[in-house]
A and B are shown apart, each in its own frame.
Chain A
């Protein structure tokens, strides 16, 4: 059976940062995870970017469980945005991007942003000379 896989951003409130959320996803819903990024800001909220893989039914149940716990979920690709009005298509971000989500089209010579490849590592954000790459939570 084909596995379902998605990259998602989890925002969980301060009261939940000591909960073993990922353990439950594995144990109760038989989901595989790959943590792309995680941090907890003191007195604020926790953020984790996961690639979550499993059977579709289990995936949906796992996500429902997270939502029930109060975790806000959004697809990863929504996080890093390219402000097209600010981008000058120089291409200095391209070698900095670790996943090839930023690339130069060899015909148009414009920079392409492939959101599905972005892991929201944020390296491009400050590297961009016109600050055209924006992170949104």
Chain B
């Protein structure tokens, strides 16, 4: 019998809710069958913990005396530049921003030891961060420079706002060339020396709701150790890619834009990350609860690693030049064994997304719901799904 989110929330209130993780539901469905599982289980919790570059946070730092109009000026946090094109005291810090003094890839491969992602982690860890701002000065905002320490707890607003997270599937990256390459998918050894992948597979939020039937705008989520919401679909959202018999996309597909109060997040779940020869980013922990409203939704949450296929892509020549790769595909169960076959060669695999941390997130979210600390939300609007015709287009350059 179908349930409603309201009914599930009543059960959470009464302490009667049945919550299982996206791993646990697999065996429950196997043992009891879909209809019994769907009747018994109210919520399935998912999790993912991987580097997500389109992440960042905005801050209102409060007004200095005399006032300074940082908007249109410059502002750095621990020497990492922020975006200042807002009003006087609002700034946005992106995860991949780097200090002007960073040698970048001048000494190749660059180490990229500290950037926007690290500043966000430091702030969340409660550390003081050095703010330096310059402005051109106006009649109402006369001050031209500002240097001060700031701390997360003193800021008016500190909001994590990530415009693309939680990718539904991703490429398996390999290197066909004869030299080492340094990519956002990690260091790739020459001649198929390794294959790196990045998804929590069967635990990953959007693999458990592949058509976004319950996850939509307004869905309340675990974000960075605190509470957040799905704000929109993410940039490069691409629900129209080829899907397998179970409806699972066979290439990078859906994405989410998420938002939440940084002040309640934790440094364990927002980790500044350095990719050798590539840059800095933020590793983000996200967990999304899926209400088991009916049997169809239950069936989707029983997805297993062996059901999910990812394309193998050459990052030495094909990826940089936007050329399709014809290296085939593998499933996540194969990837998790530590070795896959590419062009008849055994290639060791390495994961960028931490499965054990994804598991911890799904368990943490489960305990929040069981303890009545977290209620589910009805989505306010749907995000474009497979039949929408919405797709991700390349840039057409013109003069």
Contact = CB atoms under 8 A, between A and B. Distances in A.
Interface stretch (A41-49, A55-63, A84-92): A84-92
Contact of B354 (A89, A95, A131): A89
Contact of B283 (A96, A103, A126, A130): A130
Contacts of B186: 92, 127, 129
B51 interface: yes
A91 B51 contact: no
- Residue of B109, B113, B276, B356 ringed by the most chain A CB atoms within 10 A: B356
A109 interface: yes
A94 B348 contact: yes
Contact of B356 (A89, A94, A127, A129): A89
A108 interface: yes
A95 B350 contact: yes
Contacts of B272: 130
Contacts of B300: none
Contacts of B352: 90, 92, 129
Given A89-B354, A95-B348, A96-B187, A129 B49 contact: no
Interface string B193-219: 111100000000000000000000000
Interface string B23-54: 00000000000000000000000000111000
A93 interface: yes
B162 interface: no
A2 to B, nearest CB: 33
Interface string B254-284: 0000000000000000011111100000010
A127 B271 CA distance: 16
B357 interface: yes
A110 interface: yes
Contact of A91 (B109, B271, B354): B354
Given A96-B194, A127-B187, A90 B351 contact: yes
A88 B189 contact: no
Contact of B273 (A89, A108, A130): A130
- Residue of A96, A103, A127, A129 ringed by the most chain B CB atoms within 10 A: A129
A31 to B, nearest CB: 34
A92 B49 CA distance: 13
Interface in B274-315: 274-276, 283
B52 to A, nearest CB: 12
Contacts of A93: 350
B189 A96 contact: yes
A73 interface: no
Given A90-B353, A108-B356, A130-B283, A95 B276 contact: no
B356 A95 contact: no
A90 B356 CA distance: 8
B283 A95 contact: no
A129 B272 CA distance: 8
19 contacts: A89-B355, A90-B352, A92-B350, A92-B352, A93-B350, A95-B193, A95-B196, A96-B187, A103-B338, A108-B356, A109-B336, A109-B356, A110-B356, A129-B273, A129-B274, A129-B275, A129-B352, A130-B271, A131-B113
Interface of A: 88-96, 103-104, 106, 108-110, 126-127, 129-131
Q: When A and B form their complex, which 5 residue pairs have the shortest distance between CB atoms, in order from nearest?
A: A95-B194, A95-B348, A91-B351, A95-B350, A109-B355
